[in-house]
A and B are shown apart, each in its own frame.
Chain A
């Protein structure tokens, strides 16, 4: 491993990374030139462009930019805004995988866009293909009050190990890893190929629970525990063993059966564990055992910023809380406690009423970068819920941050509420889609725009996918909406009771026959009404659903349609 990096709270690219990225840009420039000159066929070229994150969608090329473990500096975000202006149509889409997608890239300009990205140490590798994808992590990483250890240290270690790993560049299928460092899982670790959860055992040691075989898509599965407690320094050796077993036995004959979840399902987690442990026994003391100095060197990259002492209780905040109802609601839903007293974590909602979830214009990105520079140590995170996070905001500054976010349209007090919808690009952009997602999200969002009503309804997650690939996580939505195509008509299949919270992870159950697009809002309304009538004190939507079951919801929905 290469870890002689300067001490800073922000991960710094070293020369190795820089050289790698710039070589890749040059190489891709050459490949694009050959393709445009007709020296490469599309068949030869497609894997090359996909390796650089460039997809061909319905109307244009789409560039998927990796934001490793969702951490972004204000400088990087400004650059993304620039790139979207110069090479795209001036906006971008933040995705559930902590990536940014630009939807209107020209092939001839893609190498320039990648070169511009490289100026801020960013790239689009590991965003496509059957490799280990961009590792995702808790978006409150480094700030959360419940954090045991910063998961990004481990996400970075995995990134260094997996980037272009010769053995794992052609896996049977893509491979997604998520890491959380908190007991409150915000990284959805049970629905990834491998989920890692840091926890402290009775001896006070911190290690990983290794979860394997989760996933969404066509065959949703909840991951199973492969190893309850893995000492931290053994992580890479253990992951390598797991990947080897997958590489050896994973099915390559059928695309739909190639994910590790199918292997785990077919052989059972016990057999999988035996195989992995056997492989591991042979490997554990090899070169992949991480020396403490290596871990420390990487950990230093993520050392918390020095936060000057600030007031724990601010008179301005309290006064405005009493005067301004929307601000009070915003404090409740969009502000989370920070581990340093006097500070808070603020979520900028990229879900203003009626707008495409997760989209931000170049001007908005710049506005967010300004706020991060003024109030959050120039740091940002991207959440898998398609929002942007300011990890280190002084409590005293909350009214100012709120005001500035309101100017951007990102101060909607709806985080975790019914209009904080996750939606995939759907049939408006995606070549694989069966139905549209974004317009459905917009209609629901407009219908439930009242903040007072949203807060009365409480925590309720709606997740929408435009096809069974489930990029919008519909399987784990409290209300999941899946677009299907029936003889050329868009229909939406509704499921209830999905959840990604740790210990409660569940795949939703289909409520009944799919509904037409114009009935989706009505259907969601009927579902919400059923909950409001039946809920008991303190019950969230999904709690009530679990207690009373699907029947009352079915009656209300299908009785009234």
Chain B
């Protein structure tokens, strides 16, 4: 499953300033809330450039940083760490709905 455990593949992520939502930097230098659109850096130099670009585009986000990811044969990107997996896909349990009266 997890290839590139060394973390060679990286994407740039941040939280959007207005609402805190998780975003990634895409190829066009825009922040997107879809991980599948994230630009992937494939080596150390690429990662440095990606982070620089992210920092240059940081007006609308908070504290950009690099996230190590893996990539499947079909190009699906997934973060390596559980923390980043949770940032990418949300809570791992079902939150209570606003009008839930019973939450069991």
Q: Which residues of A contact B (CB under 8 A)?
A: 35-36, 38, 42, 56-61, 84-85, 89-91, 105-108, 352-356, 359-364, 367, 407-409, 427-429, 433, 436, 438-439, 442, 485, 488, 490
Contact = CB atoms under 8 A, between A and B. Distances in A.
What does DSSP make chain A's interface, helix, strand, loop or mixed?
mixed
Nearest to B100: A361
B92 A352 contact: no
The 6 closest A-B pairs by CB, nearest first: A90-B98, A409-B102, A60-B20, A106-B19, A61-B20, A361-B96
Nearest to A406: B102
Contact of A89 (B82, B83, B98): B98
B102 to A, nearest CB: 4
Given A58-B83, A354-B104, A488-B82, A85 B98 contact: yes
B70 interface: no
A360 to B, nearest CB: 7
A90 B21 CA distance: 17
A90 B96 CA distance: 8
B104 A409 contact: yes
B1 interface: no
B56 interface: no
Contacts of B21: 59-60
A379 B1 CA distance: 55
Interface string B62-97: 110000000000000000111100110011110111
Contacts of A488: 80-82
A57 B15 CA distance: 9
A42 B63 contact: yes
A428 B101 CA distance: 23
A417 B83 CA distance: 31
A429 B97 CA distance: 17
B20 A59 contact: yes
Contacts of A91: 95-98, 100
Contacts of B63: 42
**A59, A367, A433, most chain B CB atoms within 10 A:** A59
B95 A359 contact: yes
B62 A42 contact: yes
A332 to B, nearest CB: 21
13 contacts: A59-B90, A85-B98, A105-B20, A107-B17, A352-B104, A353-B104, A355-B104, A363-B101, A364-B101, A364-B103, A367-B101, A409-B104, A485-B82
A462 B84 CA distance: 28
A36 B95 CA distance: 29
A107 B20 contact: yes
B87 A59 contact: yes
A58 B98 contact: no
A106 B18 contact: yes
A428 B86 contact: yes
A362 B99 CA distance: 6
Contact of A428 (B81, B93, B96): B93
A409 B103 CA distance: 7
Contacts of A429: 91
Nearest to A445: B104
A58 to B, nearest CB: 5
Contacts of A60: 15, 19-21
A407 B102 CA distance: 7
B92 to A, nearest CB: 6
Contacts of A436: 92
A433 B102 CA distance: 28
B98 A361 contact: yes
B67 to A, nearest CB: 12
Interface string B6-17: 000000000101
A353 B104 CA distance: 6
Given A106-B20, A107-B17, A352-B102, 11 more contacts: A36-B18, A58-B83, A61-B20, A84-B98, A90-B97, A107-B18, A354-B104, A355-B103, A359-B103, A407-B102, A488-B81
Contacts of B86: 58, 427-428
B40 interface: no
A67 to B, nearest CB: 19
**B20, B82, B93, B98, most chain A CB atoms within 10 A:** B20
B13 to A, nearest CB: 11
A439 B93 contact: yes
Interface in B15-33: 15, 17-22
Contact of B96 (A56, A107, A360): A360
A352 B104 CA distance: 6
Contacts of B20: 56-57, 59-61, 105-107
B84 to A, nearest CB: 9
B104 A356 contact: no
Contacts of A364: 96, 100-101, 103
A94 to B, nearest CB: 12
B99 A361 contact: yes
Contacts of A35: 17
B83 A361 contact: no
Nearest to B2: A488
Given A361-B96, A433-B83, A108 B101 contact: no
A42 B16 CA distance: 12
A63 B82 CA distance: 24
Nearest to A412: B104
Contacts of B97: 90-91, 361
A36 B18 CA distance: 7
A59 B18 CA distance: 12
Contacts of B15: 56, 59-60
A364 to B, nearest CB: 6
B93 A438 contact: yes
Contacts of B93: 356, 428, 438-439, 442
Contacts of B91: 59, 428-429
